[in-house]
Amino acid sequence: MTQKIRDVIIVGSGPAGYTAAIYTGRANLDVLVLAGEEEPGGELMKTTEVENYPGFPEGIMGPELMAGFEAQAERFGAEILFENATELELVGPVKKVTADGEIHLAHSVIVATGSGHRKLGLEHEERLSGRGVSYCATCDGSFFKDVEVAVVGGGDSAAEEALFLTKFASKVYLIVRGKQMRASKIMADRVRSNEKIHVLYEAQVTALHGGDKLDGVTVCVGADLASRMSLSGLFVAIGNDPRTSLVAGQLELDRFSGCIKVMGRSSQTSERGVFAAGDVVDPRYRQAITAAASGCIAAQDAEHFLATTSAAVLEAATA
């Protein structure tokens, strides 16, 4: 166990985690970021062109944007380790975060663990994952040239996935559970105007088929009987679930969304000295700009907490 007690440990990266690192580092705090091993940088690392982040009128590639976030955090002195946090102990004046077998200590923690892809929950889904079933078109779309694929979902993410896949697939079905898309008007208009995309409303995938790889799905449309569609790829874009397993039983969660519950417009969680930011607290907006803003709030809340906690308390915790 290291005996060094940092001011702040940030668990997670992405716009929220890296923005928190920029602000806390710029405030001359001793900051450690556990950015993760598999997906440092968050969901934007899987996004091609980002059109709606302010300051980039021509758009910017998601990985390029996150590389800038990371470099800026390092510029202000944040230490970044590309390791997964495996255990958090958040109760008490000194917080313990375990990563790669090492225990890191801090007076405060910012949880920015984001959210994970929601799955269909169908038989064979896990087995066919990576073998025709995917949760990221920008990651896997190029493997599906000149074949028919489908996207499940009706929001902006599903619309973006479908549009991206038209660069490769011969035809893209968008399987929407409701009577209309939930996507923003501009995204829905783009989908409807694309000749390669065919939208199925009031439709639901009920089964997956294939041996070594996906070769079709069963879809029920409206009141019609279920029918089988021959497909080479199925991209699932039905939402995300907040990654809260590390804080279960330690922080209060919202009973409806499952997100970490924070106090009002602040980032303060139910545990003193623990703050949360990004998609792990936001079930609704889930945008890069809102995640970055919440990372800024968490950083300033942590800085205020450290500044207003008496030196005697901090020294006693260190002893």
178 C-beta neighbours (distance < 10 Å), count: 10
d(CA 222, CA 116): 29
156 in catalytic set = no
Which strand (E) or helix (H) includes residue 241?
strand 240-242
Write down the catalytic residue from 100, 139, 189, 224: 139
Which residue, among 147, 191, 190, has the nearest Cα to 171 in the 3D structure?
147
CB of 180 within 8 A of CB of 203?
A: no
Asked whether the CA dihedral 30, 20, 67, 151 is positive or negative, the reply is: positive
Write down the catalytic residue from 136, 220, 241, 254: 136
140 in catalytic set = yes
252-286 core/surface letters (b: 16 or more CB in 10 A; e: else): ebeeeeebbbbeeeebbbbbebbbbbbbbbbbeeb
CB of 68 within 8 A of CB of 227?
A: no
At how many degrees (to 10) do helices 14-26 and 288-308 cross? 40
d(CA 304, CA 298): 10
Residue 173 pairs in a beta bridge with 150, 198
Write down the catalytic residue from 7, 140, 282, 301: 140
100 in catalytic set = no
Q: Which residues are catalytic?
A: 136, 139-140
